Each structure stands twice: as C-alpha cells, then as structure tokens.
Amino acid sequence: MAAGKDEDAPSLLSLRGEARTIFGSDAQGYDEGRPDYPAEVYDILAARCGLRAGASVVEIGAGTGLVTRRLVTAGARVVAIEPDQNMADHLAAAFSGNVEIIRGTFEEAALPQDSFDLAVAATSFHWVDQAAGLPKLGRVIRRDGWAAVWWTIFDDPDRDDAFRDALQARTGNGDPGFQRNSQFQLDAAARCRDLTELAGLTDVSGNLIRWTAELDTAQLRALYASMIRIRRLPADDRRRILDQISLLADHDFAGRVLRPFITAMYTGRRPDPSPA
C-alpha cells in the first residue's frame, strides 16, 4: 500500500496548517464518514460539565456539526469556531442561523473572557497551538465553568480487531490511517497536566471510553477517506487503499464490520477563588 509505516507518520505539528483546509475539500464525505461519539460522552457533559438548556457553549473546531447538533438539541446557545471555510459553509447551511459561527482558528478568534459555561473540542484540539490555546481555553469560560476535550481513536491496541488483522494480512498495512500513532490523544497524564498547569483548571480528570462500532462497507470506506493521512495521499494511491478496504469488507466480512474504538475525554473546571 502507498501509506507508509507508523514510524513514517508526519507529526501533528507538521500537519496542523494542512489540517485547517484539507478536511473541507470534501465536507459532505467527512460528515458521512465520522461516527457519533458514545453516549457516555454526552452523559459526562450533562452530569459533570453543566450542559443544559440555556448554557452558553463555545465549540472549538466544530467541523460539519456532529457535536454541534447534540449541543443544540440539549438547548445550549452555541458559538462554533471553524477555521476551514468549506466546513464553515457546511455548518452555516446545516444550522440556518441557530448557531453563531466564527470562521477562523480558536487561537485568533475574538472571544470575550469569562463568557462561556462550557468549552468543548471534539477530535480537534490537537490541531490547536497548545501554548496559545490552553491558556485561552481557561480564560474564555466563566468561573466554575467547564472545559471538555476529547478524541475518538478509530482503533484499540488492547482489543482484538479482526478487520485490522485481515487488512494487514491482505495488504501489509493494517493501519493506513495511522490511528495507532495517537500518543498525544491517549497520554492521559500529559493532557490532564496541560489542563491543570496551562489552562489553569481544577477537578481535572480523564475518562477512557472503549466501545465498538458496527459499520457497513460504505461507512467504513467513508471513515477511512476522512482520515488526514489518507486524504493527503495522491488521488490514485488514495483510491487504491479505499478500494482494498471496500473489497475486504465486502468479501471477508459480508459488508458488516465491527471495529473496536477508544474515546479519550478530559474535563476540568475553572476555579472560583471567591470566598463562599
């Protein structure tokens, strides 16, 4: 396969600029390819982080609105920040003025301090400049407000994965999207330390949610097509990888593939130093 081995994967830092435009090259395909997050994510937002009707929420890297829909359904007032212009256009069409959309990066967005009950970033905060973004994350939420950042890794190295094994045997690369090269997202100690020391949050904790997705061939192909390491390949190489994935899903799995995924979620509260 054209995709390289894990050790050849570009770093998150080197991909940051490209990531702010490449996903929007096929916003509809991205929307179709990304599965929703497990219910436990939304339970934590409601039970721990104050997601409720009337809550003021800023969403960092809203993409095509997968999480935005859930926030709006919960009754929140949402400000969605999206640097990719095509993604932002998709958002604007999907929400028809019900969501305030800021076109630009979180680092550069003109956001008032002490303004939001909740700040969220779903599979996006790794594209933010951490030195600038983490302190800003702590500043934009109100005292006693919450921040929640999380990622889904479309793999789980601690569980059996029949599709990954079959893809490895068939093509020599079971992980063309480099999902196992996700040390940043899964480094709970570092992410919790960042929220504490750089964002200035307290009550910081991490949740590792293991779940299983059932995907048909079209969904599986769309998921892989949405991954940056596959999107950035030359068109012929990208098509060859996706065709191999589709063929394997159809022929070896009868068009129904179960994949083990992990969602890593980190939450923290801005302290209120006021005397009780």
- Residue-wise pLDDT tens digits, 142-185: 999 999 999 999 999 899 999 999 999 999 999 999 998 788 99
Q: At 17, is the pLDDT very low, low, confident or very high (cuts 50, 70, 90)?
A: confident
Mean pLDDT, rounded, for 255-274: 94
User: Which tokens belong to 229?
Assistant: 């390491």
Q: Which long-range contacts (CB under 8 A, 24 or more apart) does 27-31 make?
A: 27/64, 27/84, 27/86, 27/87, 27/89, 27/90, 28/64, 28/90, 29/222, 29/225, 29/226, 30/63, 30/64, 30/87, 30/226, 31/63, 31/64, 31/65, 31/66, 31/90
Rounded CA-CA distance 59/76 in Å is: 11
202: which strand partners? Answer: 269
Please tell me the distance from the alpha carbon of residue 121 to that of residue 265, in angstroms, as a whole number.
Answer: 10
Nearest to 146 by CA among 272, 40, 39: 272
Tokens of 87: 């993604």
Q: What is the pTM of this model?
A: 0.92
* Residue 276 banded pLDDT, cuts 50, 70, 90: low
For position 13, what pLDDT does the model report? 66
Given this model, what pLDDT does residue 98 score?
A: 84
Nearest to 135 by CA among 95, 216, 80, 195: 195
Q: Residue 231: left (phi > 0), alpha (psi -120 to 50), or beta?
A: alpha
Q: 85-95 vs 66-73: helix axis angle to the nearest 10?
A: 30
Q: How confident is the model at residue 10 (pLDDT cuts 50, 70, 90)?
A: low
Q: Domain residue spans in the chain?
A: 6-152+180-212+263-269
* CATH fold for the domain made of 6-152+180-212+263-269: Rossmann fold (3.40.50)
| CA pair distance 113, 139, nearest whole angstrom | 5
Cα distance between residue 91 and residue 65, in whole Å: 6
Integer Cα distance of 34 and 46 in angstroms: 22
Look up residue 90 and give its two tokens: 């998709």
Residue 198's pLDDT is 98
Q: What radius of gyration do the chain's Cα atoms show?
A: 19
Q: Give residue 237's pLDDT band: very low, low, confident or very high (50, 70, 90).
A: very high
pLDDT at 275: 59
Average of per-residue pLDDT across 68-96? 94
The torsion angles phi and psi of 257, rounded to 5 degrees, stand at -120, 130
Where does the pLDDT of residue 235 fall: very low under 50, low under 70, confident under 90, or very high at 90 and above? very high
In the structure, what pLDDT confidence band is assigned to residue 90 with cuts at 50, 70 and 90? Answer: very high
